[in-house]
Chains A and B, each alone.
Chain A
Amino acid sequence: MKFSIFSVLSILALFNVVIGAYTNQELLDQVKKASTKVLTLTDKNYEKYLNGPRDYHVVMLLSSQSPQFKCPLCNEFKPEYELVANSWNQDHPNGVNGDNEKDIFFFYSEFMNSKDFFQKLKLNNIPKCFYLPPSTISAKDGWVTETDEYQFFQGQHATLIIDWLRSVTEHKFNLHVPINYTRIAVNAGITFGVLVLAFIFNKQVMKVLTSKTLWTGAAIFLILLFNAGYMFNQIRQMPYVREHPDGRVDYWVQGQQAQLGFETQLVSFIYGILSLLVLLLIKQVPKIQHPQVKLIAATLVSVSLFLGYSLLLNFFGLKSPGYPFRFVKFVK
């Protein structure tokens, strides 16, 4: 089924090459029929779509969803691009009806299906987003010279695309984010469920909520996490460890203003152990009645504390090379 439609389309496309570009109305019909409002460009049909003269604006995204490229920006960008296209279509289901204004059509091209097309534009990286103005040039491949490239920036892609399109097409754009009803329903369901459960088991819930141990644990856990630079990892999106192409793995990086995800875990673990040992000294060791056992316990805890602290100092010394203090030198 899929194959047949495709072949029919391609035959049609081949047929049409001779005649020239689509008219505005033909494209509008295509968009109306299509399930997504973004038309697909492939090696077979791009000439038909792009060769002039054109009576409409063309916006095209050249990208790939293929996993072999490992392109996070591609995956990030495409939905936002489609959102802009759909919003445009929602506002103008029958095209713009002004006299001097031209329609805009959105295209998407997947690299796996359109290698020649990408070659024609001499692309060596993706994603790329181009704009083609209405044109009277009817020469073959005349459109190549008319491309206006979109600059990728950090930020909300959809609004950035709209800003760009507004400047090149001088059309007004609105963004219609479709309301995700299932998500609202699921959220409402979960909230309701939780409330009902809380009401039914209110005694148990209150017990948990008023449990001192729980709150103590949570507070100390949070403190250990934050003081070991957890927020740094979150904000800078640091990798857990750093892998080199030759297979070596770095678990830490030098420098006081840098760290990897693993470091946070290690350091909060060390802090936790050290705190625990001090607590043992304060709370548990004095309770031991037998004097010899008490001495052994105190010695054990003190020595572990000493070793733990030296480990921390060694690690800190690795991070900041100028630091002169160590108790025991584990590493140079």
Chain B
Amino acid sequence: MTSTTKLKVLGINIETIKLLLQVIIFISIAGASISSRLFSVIRFESIIHEFDPWFNFRATKYLVNHSFYDFLNWFDDRTWYPLGRVTGGTLYPGLMVTSGVIWHTLRDWFGLPIDIRNICVLLAPAFSGLTAIFTYFLTTEMKDSNAGLLAAIFMGIAPGYISRSVAGSYDNEAIAITLLMATFYFWIKSMKIGSVFYGTLTALFYFYMVSAWGGYVFITNLIPLHVFVLLLMGRYNHKLYTAYNTWYAIGTLASMQIPFVGFLPIRSNDHMAALGVFGLIQLVAFGDYIKSRIPEKQFKTFLTVSMILIAGLGIGGLIGLTALGWIAPWTGRFYSLWDTSYAKIHIPIIASVSEHQPTAWPAFFFDTSMLIWLFPVGVYLCFQDLKDEHLFVIIYGVLCSYFAGVMVRLMLTLTPIICVSAAIAISKLFDVYLDLSEFWHSSSSTRTKLFTGLSKLLVLSSFTYYLFFFVYHCTWVTSNAYSSPSVVLASKNPDGSPAIIDDYREAYYWLRMNTAEDAKVMSWWDYGYQIGGMADRTTLVDNNTWNNTHIATVGKAMCSSEEVAYDILKQHDVDYVLIIFGGVIGFSGDDINKFLWMIRISEGIWPDEIHERDYFTERGEYRVDGQAPKAMQESLMYKMSYYRFHELFMGRDAVDRVRNQQIPIQNAPELSVLDEVFTSTNWIVRIYKVKDADNLGRDLKKASAFGKNSKKTRIAKKPKIDLRE
């Protein structure tokens, strides 16, 4: 090679400038992705969002207050009363351990005693910066560093990923997507160069991923599928063999160290693809070896015979093992991914979770903006090159498009590949149109230069405009749709000034300060984690939903009459019942709207006692007004929701603002087994205390009827919100 003169700008080596620029760009990308996730912290405060994060937060607090081993052995007697939950063995500890490590590092090594809550709140934004960097590396493997930088910024601000990683959304996905990208990057790297070192790194990140999120199964299936397709295309080589075996052997052994995963990797069908491909690649390697030793004709015979033998053995073995019960049947969640009607019929609790709903097209556009139509272009370009790593993009893209369409929450796993493909497309376009070399050393006329320059300018400027617009779109979506903590509701006063509805925290704080420390609070499972985290009281059911029967019990108590419900409440030592009611301010996510799920779930367990049909009118309508059916009006939930509701309307018919129905005054419910103890400012949270059995042995209905008659006038005073002495 001839020695090339090194290009210099202002006396500095061009490579140095390139590196400097890259570093600056990276810092900017990280800055952009972190800062766009801080809307909620700035608008509200540093607070944990939604439901699941409250559990993770509580678990993290437990981890930093106790030792790691205590955490793994944690038996939580403050949830699922009276059963309790083997929390240490049924959670993915990756998230908590990560924050725990950060907390300890900052405190012990840097002398920075930061509140664990702030670490939890800001963990997701911090990891989003890392995600951008890993996306850069992955895309660089696919095309070049130009595409990599574009993918990094796309990934940094795409709403599809932000939806799960804003500050305060302290959930498993917050770190899982980072680990997903890291695992995939190291996989591509190890597959390309056949390195045991990178294979081991892949396995280690896979292990981290397994410890952090149940979605690791996605990796467990995608990598084998990639290998399988490569084998089908006859692209077997020793590099692939090295990479896959290193990952599979170390990764599987490592993943089995997580208590919750245990022996699943060799028993559950979710993991069978990986095992199958592991076996297949050994056979292919063996076949490859034989082929290099014997003549072609003999090899053909050898191939046919062994194919038939293996297919027979494999299918027979699979059937046999399943029949013997050695390998677990397909899990319910897996079924709902393929056959969506399965879940609806057999597992109402799966159907009741909104995250399992299918995705309509606006959600795709909302979450990725223009990247969604650049995505097919990127896939097309991958087909043009079709190297081993491009196949990965294609398989990932097609497969995840399907999954994201079936389940709205899997948009999260689709977003990275959309970013990568779109970045490939845009950077290819820029490669073509930013190539200005012909202006310097070509012999073409000025006229030609002018026209070519104009066409390039046009295309470039329009795409620059689109990119700017993309930033606007993402910021708008993040700010408007994904930054509300949902613990605190934002609203507007009549004059347009912002108002904050803080009923949840008001009520949870009341519970924390005014009730006995060992009080048992019954509520629908949605609020279990929040009650545990914010009010620190024992709950019957929570968002973990591991015991369907227990949830159905709570559902039954809510939807049966006072007498039936009272027995259930007493059997479960319930002291307080908490419900969410939106009828006063028109908050649609309240318990009456979730009521049908309570009925359905409890009907699944007690088909003789609860009938969904009874809660509908003759004409099959769901009504709460004067025409509401008897079962509805007598249910504990109905009574608790509308108890004293009419007092707000001065004795006239009350209007439910969510369902836009009038509740006649003669339908005003009476409660005899519960006492109202707290109702929040906007009536969103109402808390009732379960009465003790009557002193004179009367049933509570008679007792309260007697009490009412003797008093004549009822004192209607608002319950105290003061602190407990």
Interface residues of A, Cβ cutoff 8 Å to B: 151, 153-156, 163, 167, 212, 215-216, 219-220, 222-224, 226-232, 234-236, 256-259, 263-264, 267, 270-272, 274-275, 278-279, 281-282, 285-286, 291-292, 294-295, 297-299, 302, 305-306, 309, 312, 316, 319-320, 322-325
Contacts and interface: CB of A to CB of B under 8 A. Distances in A.
B596 to A, nearest CB: 13
A81 to B, nearest CB: 19
Interface stretch (B60-68, B196-204, B455-463): B455-463
A277 to B, nearest CB: 9
Contacts of B452: 291, 294-295
B383 A232 contact: no
Contacts of B377: 275, 278-279, 282
B345 A212 contact: no
A145 B557 CA distance: 32
A222 B358 contact: no
B455 A295 contact: yes
B380 A216 contact: yes
A223 to B, nearest CB: 5
Interface stretch (B266-274, B365-373, B636-644): B365-373
Nearest to A301: B459
A282 B422 CA distance: 13
Interface string B344-384: 11000000000001111111111000101111110111010
Contact of A291 (B362, B432, B448): B448
B406 interface: yes
B640 to A, nearest CB: 27
A302 B459 contact: yes
A305 to B, nearest CB: 7
B455 A298 contact: yes
B520 interface: no
21 contacts: A154-B345, A216-B383, A223-B376, A223-B398, A223-B401, A227-B361, A229-B361, A230-B405, A231-B402, A231-B405, A231-B406, A232-B361, A235-B341, A256-B360, A256-B366, A257-B360, A267-B361, A281-B433, A292-B451, A312-B365, A324-B476
Contacts of B401: 222-223, 226-227
B291 interface: no
A257 B429 CA distance: 34
Contact of A220 (B376, B405, B472): B376
Contact of B372 (A227, A234, A324): A227
Contact of B405 (A153, A226, A257, A263): A226
B48 interface: no
Contacts of B692: none
B361 A228 contact: yes
B365 A316 contact: yes
Nearest to A279: B377
A235 B406 contact: yes
Contact of B358 (A228, A235, A312): A235
Interface in B565-593: none
Contacts of A282: 377, 381, 425, 428-429, 432
B394 interface: yes
Nearest to B357: A257
A229 B433 CA distance: 33
A76 to B, nearest CB: 14
Interface string B421-464: 00001001100110000000000000110111011101100100
Identify which of A223, A274, A294, A306 gathers the most chain B CB atoms within 10 Å of its CB: A223
Given A227-B375, A282-B428, A258 B360 contact: yes
B358 A274 contact: no
Given A231-B405, A282-B425, 7 more contacts: A154-B344, A215-B383, A220-B376, A235-B406, A256-B362, A282-B429, A302-B458
B398 A229 contact: no
Given A263-B361, A299-B458, A219 B429 contact: no
A231 B365 contact: no
Contacts of A257: 357, 360, 363
**Which 3 residue pairs across A and B have the least CB separation, nearest first?**
A231-B405, A291-B451, A229-B361
A282 B430 CA distance: 9
Interface string B70-114: 000000000000000000000000000000000000000000000
B362 A316 contact: yes
Contacts of B456: 298
A312 B371 CA distance: 13
Contacts of B398: 219, 222-223, 226
Interface string B496-508: 0000000000000
A170 to B, nearest CB: 14
B383 A212 contact: yes
Contacts of B472: 325
Nearest to B603: A153
Given A278-B374, A299-B455, A302-B458, A256 B476 contact: no
B459 A298 contact: yes
Contacts of A306: 462
B366 to A, nearest CB: 7
B473 interface: yes
Contacts of A220: 376, 379-380
Contact of A281 (B340, B380, B429, B473): B429
B623 interface: no
A325 B469 contact: yes
Nearest to A272: B376
Nearest to B426: A278
A282 to B, nearest CB: 5
Contacts of A263: 361
B404 A226 contact: yes
Contacts of A236: 358
Nearest to A238: B360
Given A231-B406, A292-B451, A319 B362 contact: yes
Identify which of A270, A298, A324 gathers the most chain B CB atoms within 10 Å of its CB: A298
Contact of A259 (B361, B429, B480, B607): B361
B386 interface: yes
B364 A229 contact: yes
Contacts of A215: 383
A282 B401 CA distance: 24
B441 to A, nearest CB: 18
A292 B447 CA distance: 9
A264 B448 CA distance: 44
B383 A320 contact: no
B224 to A, nearest CB: 19
Interface string B580-624: 000000000000000000000000000110011100000000000
A223 B393 CA distance: 12
B345 A232 contact: no
Nearest to A228: B361
Nearest to A254: B362
A228 B376 contact: no
A274 B373 contact: yes
Given A227-B375, A295-B455, A325 B365 contact: no
B44 interface: no
A302 B406 contact: no
Interface in B454-497: 454-456, 458-459, 462, 466, 469, 472-473, 476, 480
Contacts of B363: 229, 256-257
Contacts of A299: 455, 458
A223 B414 CA distance: 11
Given A227-B364, A263-B361, A151 B613 contact: yes
B251 interface: no
Given A231-B359, A267-B361, A278-B374, A222 B394 contact: no
A223 B401 CA distance: 6
B397 interface: yes
B566 to A, nearest CB: 27
B458 A298 contact: yes
A226 B429 CA distance: 25
B451 A295 contact: yes
Nearest to A320: B362
Nearest to A154: B345
A162 to B, nearest CB: 13
